[in-house]
């Protein structure tokens, strides 16, 4: 096998691992990885506003709002206006959201982060450099992406609306 084939096979395995985890998460909890990460962030910072939440998880406010709408429909999240300023809306976990979160598996990236942080700093830098080079070689530098391991999260501004529609189904 050629070296590039070995590399491409490894990349496909990474994509497949993310896909399998996403399917497992969905089957066990009915949540996507993005929904789980949003719920985890809200549980850590009750009352957080959408803009701050979006910044903390590196997704656009529009994407987060769309995901929050679905979580609110499932009664996992609730929005509540601040008493002192009715223009501001805080996010909180609903009782059902707290119950789902207690039983939810760790996000795939939690496992990855633990292992990555266990590496020597030079090894971390080498991996980051290599993967950044791969992204460059694939002309992917301008693709908007969040550090969330889930199929469908890498998106350009032009296809963001389509991905939001796909997640809704």
14, 49 in Cβ contact below 8 A?
Answer: no
Q: Is the pLDDT of residue 163 over 50?
A: no
pLDDT score, position 145? 59
pLDDT band at 98 (very low <50, low <70, confident <90, very high): very high
Q: What is the mean pLDDT of residues 120-132?
A: 95
Structural domain of residue 43, as residue ranges? Answer: 3-168
CATH number at residue 140: 1.10.10.10
Contact 146, 58 (CB under 8 A): yes
The structure's pTM equals 0.67
Q: Mean of the pLDDT values across residues 49-73?
A: 91
Residues whose CB falls within 8 Å of the CB of residue 63, separated by 6 or more in sequence, listed in order: 34, 54, 160, 164
Report strand pairing: 77-81 vs 89-93: antiparallel
Beta carbons within 10 angstroms of residue 100's beta carbon: 21
93, 77 Cβ separation under 8 angstroms? yes
Give me the pLDDT at residue 146, please: 57
Domain count, the chain: 1
pLDDT greater at residue 164 or residue 72: 72
């Amino acid at each position: 096998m050629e070296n590039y084939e070995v590399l491409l096979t490894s990349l496909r395995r990474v994509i497949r691992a993310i896909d399998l985890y996403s399917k497992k998460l969905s089957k066990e909890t009915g949540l996507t990885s993005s929904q789980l990460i949003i719920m985890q962030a809200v549980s850590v910072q009750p009352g957080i506003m959408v803009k701050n939440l979006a910044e903390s998880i590196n997704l656009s406010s529009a994407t987060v709002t769309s995901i929050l709408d679905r979580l609110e429909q499932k009664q996992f999240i609730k929005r509540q206006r601040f008493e002192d300023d009715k223009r501001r809306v805080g996010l909180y976990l609903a009782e059902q959201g707290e119950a789902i979160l207690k039983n939810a598996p760790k996000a795939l990236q939690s496992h990855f982060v633990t292992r990555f942080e266990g590496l020597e700093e030079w090894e971390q830098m080498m991996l980051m450099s290599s993967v950044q080079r791969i992204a460059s070689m694939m002309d992917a530098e301008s693709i908007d992406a969040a550090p969330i391991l889930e199929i469908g999260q890498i998106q350009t501004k032009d296809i963001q609306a389509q991905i939001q529609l796909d997640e809704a189904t």
